[in-house]
Every structure is written in structure tokens, then in C-alpha cells.
């Protein structure tokens, strides 16, 4: 995925109308968090719910659990250390555009028992970001976790971390990171995978991105 990041960084430098470049990501004092975007995702395997509720349906995942995962990240910033991961003084939570996009997901083909990957990750993520509606912030550096899959069969979450210019919707940095789920219950189990992705950004990826942006 380093090649994808590099190509995006180089492409960004040549786009005259872009308000921000990849270098600006590291000098900015704040970022805008857009949450987990499931609009192109597949939920692979059987997602068992607690308390004898049985397996989650596609409707359950869309209408109950996706909002739960996004809500948990906002309500527990000390557990989901986004500011620390991106070395920022402030994180502004602006998840309404993503919530609206997730709400419009068709449940017909949301679930699968087959491994799933984006055919063209750069194009898919660019499309997802371009379709985000207007939130409270109209400019700045945005961060969206574009979910490729939550795979219960392999117990891993595949997430594309997309850092983008809010005004132009130009993706500045893109990285596919695999998160390992942990925790009790469907909500906490997959929230653990998101936490693992954030931790990897903190310990590894952010410094690599910064080096590539120089």
C-alpha cells in the first residue's frame, strides 16, 4: 500500500486547485473526524449478537451496529485516541455526513460469506469521499475510515484510512490497515479492531506518512 500512498502524494503536489497538500496534514493543528464509512463494505460471515439475540441481519448491522460503532468512538475519545494517532491538538467530530451515507446503504448485498476486496481501492475510496455530504466544517483536513470489510470468518477488519482535503475532497493520504478485533459483545469486538487500527497509526504509519510527505 506504500505505493498507493506515494502516488497520491505525488499527484497531490501537481493539483493546482487543491487547498491542501499531503505536507499540510502534518502541520495542521486539528483534524475533522468523519467516522467509519461502510458504503462500499462487505460484512463477511455470521455476526452473532449477545444475550441470545441470535445472528445479526443485514438490517441489524446497518441500523443498529454501524451507528453504535461510530457513536462509541465519539463518546470514548480516551479509548479511541485519534488526536494522539494523528498528533493533533484537537479532533472535531463531524460524522453526520457519514451517518447519512451509511443509512442509505442497501442491505441486499451487504453480507457475504466470501472474502472481499475492492477491485480498485484508490478509485473506490475517492468515490466514497467525493459523495460525502456537507457537514459542519467546510474546509480543513478530514479523516475517514473507509471500511472494506469486517470479516468474522478471519476475525479481521480491513479499513482504508483516508486523509483528505475537505473543501476539494481530494484524498491526500491513503493506507489499508488490518485491525484485529477484541472485546466482549458484537459492538466491543469490532470496536476493538478500530482501536487496533488507530494504535497502528500511532506507533507506525503516521511517522511513515510524514517521511514520505517530505
Is the predicted pLDDT of residue 6 greater than 80, yes or no?
no
Q: How high is the pLDDT of residue 34?
A: 98
Rounded mean pLDDT, 12-23: 62
Structure confidence by residue, pLDDT tens digits, 157-180: 999 999 999 999 999 999 999 999
pTM score, whole prediction:
0.91
* Secondary-structure percent of the chain, ordered helix, strand, coil, rounded to 5: 40, 25, 35
Structure confidence by residue, pLDDT tens digits, 85-129: 999 999 999 999 999 999 999 999 999 999 999 999 999 999 999
Rounded mean pLDDT, 190-203: 98
- Residue 141 zone, left/alpha/beta (φ > 0; ψ -120 to 50; rest): beta
Query: Which letter does DSSP use for residue 202 in this model?
Result: I
Query: Which letter does DSSP use for residue 127 in this model?
Result: H
Cα(116)–Cα(135) distance, rounded to whole angstroms? Answer: 30
Structure confidence by residue, pLDDT tens digits, 21-56: 999 999 999 999 999 999 999 999 999 986 666 899
Amino acid at each position: 500500500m506504500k505505493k498507493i500512498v506515494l502516488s497520491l502524494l505525488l499527484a497531490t503536489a501537481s493539483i493546482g486547485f487543491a487547498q491542501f497538500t499531503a505536507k499540510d496534514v502534518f502541520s495542521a493543528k486539528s483534524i475533522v473526524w468523519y467516522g467509519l464509512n461502510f458504503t462500499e463494505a462487505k460484512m463477511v460471515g455470521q455476526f452473532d449478537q449477545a444475550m441470545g439475540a441470535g445472528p445479526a441481519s443485514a438490517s441489524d448491522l446497518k441500523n443498529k451496529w454501524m451507528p453504535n460503532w461510530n457513536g462509541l468512538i465519539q463518546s470514548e475519545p480516551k479509548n479511541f485516541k485519534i488526536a494522539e494517532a494523528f498528533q493533533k491538538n484537537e479532533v472535531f467530530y463531524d460524522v453526520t455526513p457519514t451517518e447519512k451515507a451509511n443509512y442509505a446503504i442497501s442491505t441486499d448485498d451487504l453480507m457475504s460469506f466470501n472474502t472481499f476486496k475492492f477491485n480498485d481501492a484508490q478509485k473506490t475510496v475517492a468515490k466514497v469521499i467525493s459523495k460525502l455530504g456537507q457537514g459542519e466544517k467546510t474546509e480543513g483536513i478530514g479523516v475517514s475510515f473507509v471500511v472494506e470489510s469486517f470479516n468474522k470468518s478471519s476475525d479481521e477488519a480491513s479499513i482504508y484510512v483516508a486523509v483528505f482535503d475537505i473543501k476539494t475532497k481530494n484524498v491526500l493520504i491513503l493506507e489499508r490497515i488490518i485491525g484485529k478485533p477484541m472485546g466482549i459483545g458484537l459492538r466491543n469486538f469490532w470496536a476493538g479492531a478500530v482501536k487496533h487500527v488507530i494504535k497502528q497509526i500511532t506507533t507506525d504509519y503516521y511517522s511513515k506518512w510524514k517521511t514520505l510527505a517530505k
